[in-house]
Amino acid sequence: MSTTLITNIGSLVTNDPAQGDGTPLGLIEDAALVLDGDTVAWTGPAASAPAADASFDAQGRAVIPGFVDSHSHLVFAGDRTAEFNARMSGRSYSAGGIRTTVAATRAATDAELEANLLRHLDEARRQGTTTFETKSGYGLTVADEARALRIASAHTEEVTYLGAHIVSPDYADDPAGYVDLVTGEMLAACAPYARWVDVFCEKGAFDGDQARAILTAGAAAGLIPRVHANQLSYGPGVQLAVELEAASADHCTHLTDADVDALAQAAGTTVATLLPGAEFSTRAQWPDARRLLDAGATVALSTDCNPGSSYTSSMPFCIALAVRDMGMTPDEALWAATAGGARALRRTDIGRLAPGARADLALLDAPSHVHLAYRPGVPLVSAVWQRGVRAA
Ligand code: NIG
Ligand code: FE
């Protein structure tokens, strides 16, 4: 295995509070890092770096852990430009738009779906994302959901079964029959490809009782729950996520004090994953990250990349929104987009840069990670290593 020394790093975010400045970011100034194959072998001050087989001069720029995008919907076809245009002329977002993408996705070939997935992954990687979760949910038949997950599972370990995105149009008059399908035959066909089970718990999608049945059946099949919760309105999603020890409650836009308390109590189990791209693209109120952080909840940031409510693959964009509009500091937002995402995926090998961690990192054309929010919209990610290999 050959080693590479990345030296002359202006500031290195390790997310290891035992290192550097002692904050959660474990920031080391004038740092170096050694990669050994696909793993981080050493981090510390450049002055005491060990020798390595090869070296790379960071020229004073910042290095951060690769982003962990723990929530996306990338197996789809078509786009929804017209719907976005209508929204920007005053129409409001509704879950019903999902049906447009379902029709396009069903009509696409496997090769088209995979090519579309890869195009978005490349786009995300160039912006520093080194791990992504993605979901089914635009097939809504046994065969179409299973093929979405099969295609996704060739490109990520973090695959989520979302047969319960909306009630399939084929079951418009029989929602209970659709829940039976999602918890029965469809689950059996999908579980082999997935790690997680998710449900859109919302008016117009699935209510609390349906969501509980779907998540419980998924858990019985070995999948770990995560929930689309409290996105468009107040509702039972967050409480259900906490009750079922879901890995994350995602969106968390409309929260009561009791919801915030529940997430704070469950900080070690259920991560509040905030998806500001969705509020941007639907002109909705921002999730209140400050309120969650002050209460003690664990917060992650993610793109929710999908053609309807949040068509961005850019974690830097989400960081900028979270800092500008959701009350997060640049440090908190960076942590949430890296270590927070790892927590939401129950991973300890990613989202941090310390010996033994996976060598997933991004080099920024900036002296520190703060520039991600300070210089919004500027493509600051100038190099990416994924499992120790230069990937962008
Ligand atoms: O996370 N909320 C449900 N699902 C997606 C939206 C999907 C769509 O509009 O196509 C979301 O925002
Ligand atoms: Fe989503």
Render pLDDT for 348-368 as a digit per residue (tens, 0 to 9): 999 999 999 999 999 999 999
The structural domain count of the chain equals 2
* 75 and 51 assigned to the same domain: no
The CATH number linked to 59 is 2.30.40.10
Q: Residue 162: which of 66, 95, 233, 93 has the closest Cα?
A: 95
pLDDT at 139: 98
> Whose alpha carbon is nearest atom 6 of ligand 1?
309
* 13 and 108 assigned to the same domain: no
* 254 and 132 assigned to the same domain: yes
Answer for the pair 123, 156: CB distance below 8 angstroms, yes or no.
no
Choose one of 165, 226, 253, 273 to mutate for the ligand 1 pocket test, by most ligand atoms within 8 angstroms of C-beta. Answer: 165
Q: What is the mean pLDDT of residues 92-118?
A: 96
Residue list, CB under 5 A from ion ligand 2: 304
* 56 and 71 assigned to the same domain: no
Work out the pLDDT band at 326, boundaries 50, 70, 90. very high
Q: What is the mean pLDDT of residues 19-45?
A: 97
Q: Which atom of ligand 1 is nearest to the CA of 101?
A: 10
Answer for the pair 97, 83: CB distance below 8 angstroms, yes or no.
yes
Answer for the pair 196, 133: CB distance below 8 angstroms, yes or no.
yes
* 47 and 146 assigned to the same domain: no
pLDDT at 100: 96
Answer for the pair 249, 270: CB distance below 8 angstroms, yes or no.
yes
pLDDT at 95: 85
Answer for the pair 156, 188: CB distance below 8 angstroms, yes or no.
no
Q: Which ligand is nearest to the CA of 307?
A: 1
Q: Which atom of ligand 1 is nearest to the CA of 228?
A: 2
Is 283 annotated for ligand binding?
no
Flag whether pLDDT at 1 surpasses 80. no
Q: Which amino acid is at 169?
A: P
Work out the pLDDT band at 333, boundaries 50, 70, 90. very high
What's the pLDDT tens digit per position in 200-244? 999 999 999 999 999 999 999 999 999 999 999 999 999 999 999
What separation in Å is there between the alpha carbon of 41 and the centre of ligand 1?
39
- Residue-by-residue DSSP string for 42-82: EEEEGGGPPP-SEEEE-TT-EEEEPEEE--B-----S--HH
105 close to ligand 1 (CB < 6 Angstrom): no
Flag whether pLDDT at 171 surpasses 90. yes
Distances (CA, A) of 153 to 104, 200, 215, 386: 21, 21, 20, 18
Is 71 annotated for ligand binding?
yes
What is the rounded distance in angstroms from the CA atom of residue 227 to the CA atom of residue 168?
18
Choose one of 87, 99, 306, 312 to mutate for the ligand 1 pocket test, by most ligand atoms within 8 angstroms of C-beta. Answer: 306
What is the rounded distance in angstroms from the CA atom of residue 21 to the CA atom of residue 293?
21
pLDDT at 96: 86
Instruction: Give the burial string for 79-113 (b: 16+ CB within 10 Å, else e).
Output: ebeebbeebeeeeebbbebbbbbbebbeebeeeeb
* 115 and 177 assigned to the same domain: yes
Residue 232's domain spans which residues?
A: 67-344
Cβ burial, residue 126 (10 Å; 0-12/13-18/19+): middle
What is the rounded distance in angstroms from the CA atom of residue 340 to the CA atom of residue 343?
5
289 close to ligand 1 (CB < 6 Angstrom): no
Answer for the pair 304, 32: CB distance below 8 angstroms, yes or no.
no
Residue ending a domain, choose from 344, 367, 382? 344
3-state secondary structure of 255: coil
Mean of all residue pLDDT scores within the chain: 98
* 244 and 321 assigned to the same domain: yes
Choose one of 71, 72, 73 to mutate for the ligand 1 pocket test, by most ligand atoms within 8 angstroms of C-beta. Answer: 73
* 137 and 90 assigned to the same domain: yes
What's the pLDDT tens digit per position in 74-98? 999 999 999 999 999 999 998 889 9
pLDDT at 365: 98
* 11 and 144 assigned to the same domain: no
279 close to ligand 1 (CB < 6 Angstrom): no
Answer for the pair 68, 341: CB distance below 8 angstroms, yes or no.
yes
Q: Could you report the predicted ipTM of this complex, rounded to two decimals? A: 0.95
Contacts of 235 (CB under 8 A, 6+ apart): 201, 202, 203, 208, 229, 254
pTM (two decimals): 0.98
Answer for the pair 44, 7: CB distance below 8 angstroms, yes or no.
no
* 89 and 192 assigned to the same domain: yes
* 380 and 244 assigned to the same domain: no
Q: Residue 223: which of 177, 258, 253, 186 has the closest Cα?
A: 186
Is 265 annotated for ligand binding?
no
44 close to ligand 1 (CB < 6 Angstrom): no
Long-range contacts (CB closer than 8 Å, 24 or more residues apart) made by 208-215: 208/235, 208/236, 208/237, 208/240, 210/164, 210/175, 210/179, 211/164, 211/236, 211/237, 211/240, 212/240, 212/244, 213/179, 213/183, 214/163, 214/164, 214/179, 214/182, 214/183, 215/240, 215/244, 215/246
pLDDT at 383: 98
Q: What is the mean pLDDT of residues 136-159?
A: 98
* 177 and 199 assigned to the same domain: yes
The CATH number linked to 283 is 3.20.20.140
101 close to ligand 1 (CB < 6 Angstrom): yes
Distances (CA, A) of 8 to 34, 46, 181, 363, 366: 12, 6, 56, 12, 13
